[in-house]
Amino acid sequence: MHVIVTGADRLGRAVARWLVAGGHEIAVVDSRRERCIAIDEAFGSVSVLGSPVDRSVLAQAGANRADMLIATDEDDGANLVTCQIAKQRFEVPTTMSVVNRSDHVDLFNVLGVDVVVDVPDLILNQIQEGFTSHGITHLKPLPAVETEQSLVSIHVPASYGPEGRRLDSFPFPDGTLPSLVVTREGVPRLPSGDFMVRAGDEIIAVTTAEGEDELRDLLESGPLT
């Protein structure tokens, strides 16, 4: 894919590195010369020096043939305008933007930015994870259905031991659906009832808000016999 990244600060650079590693063609737009030089030194001549809210700069970055634009600036106004130019003037199929103030998230969604990343919320979630260490990470809310469901990752704590226990012996709450197990070696497995879950494994599951509370209690109380 051809992907335009706007903003060559640390975040933009990390996104660029990940895209290049994935074999994608990139162009990185930033109005600061030293950041463009750093990008070119790291990834070859892929930087475009100029304002990301200038149509001619985006054209130079290949907006006409871009499959995606990712706005990573610290300025929400610039990110929004960049995404709107990409959609209105270049019909870029997918626009993605970080949002630095959570109160702008709804607006970005309403105005048609395809993927909106709420930076303060993400960081807060990570802090909450570290603070409570309950081993459940929110991956994604699932829209639609009347009950509020989300995709979560459950880290199986050390107290569950290396020999493990059958997945179907876990007293999962109603509405909780284990969908994938990533073993502690990093191997993804589709879980069957007789799958042996061990400490360090990660269970990806669909659950409800109430289910999540029960799961948390379950994990904190240690392995059930």
Partner 1 sequence: MVLADRPILGPKHILIVGSGDLGAAVAMALVAQGNTVHVLDRTPEAFDRLPDGAVEEQRIIPVVGDGTSHHDLVRAGIRGVDVFMSVMRNDSDNILAAQVATHEFNVDVVVCRVDDPDLQNMYEEMGLITIGATSLLVEVAVQTATA
Residues that bind partner 1 (CB under 8 A): 53-55, 75-78, 80-81, 84-85, 88-89, 101, 103-104, 106-107, 110-111
CB of 49 to partner 1, least distance (A): 18
End-to-end C-alpha distance for the chain, whole angstroms = 50
Of 5 and 80, the one with the shorter C-beta distance to partner 1 is 80
* Tokens describing residue 194: 């007789």
Are 51 and 57 contacting, i.e. CB atoms less than 8 angstroms apart? Answer: yes
For 73, other C-beta atoms within 10 Å of its C-beta total: 25
Of 58 and 215, which CB lies nearer to partner 1 in the complex structure? 58
Choose between 54 and 214: whose C-beta lies nearer to partner 1.
Answer: 54
User: Please, what is the minimum distance in Å from the beta carbon of residue 202 to partner 1?
Assistant: 37
Shortest reach from residue 20's CB to partner 1, in Å = 28
55 or 216: whose CB is closer to partner 1?
Answer: 55
Quick check: 116 and 99 in contact, CB under 8 A? Answer: yes
Residue 92 CB, nearest approach to partner 1 (Å):
14
Residue type, 199: A
Dihedral Cα 34, 39, 44, 46, nearest 10 deg: -100
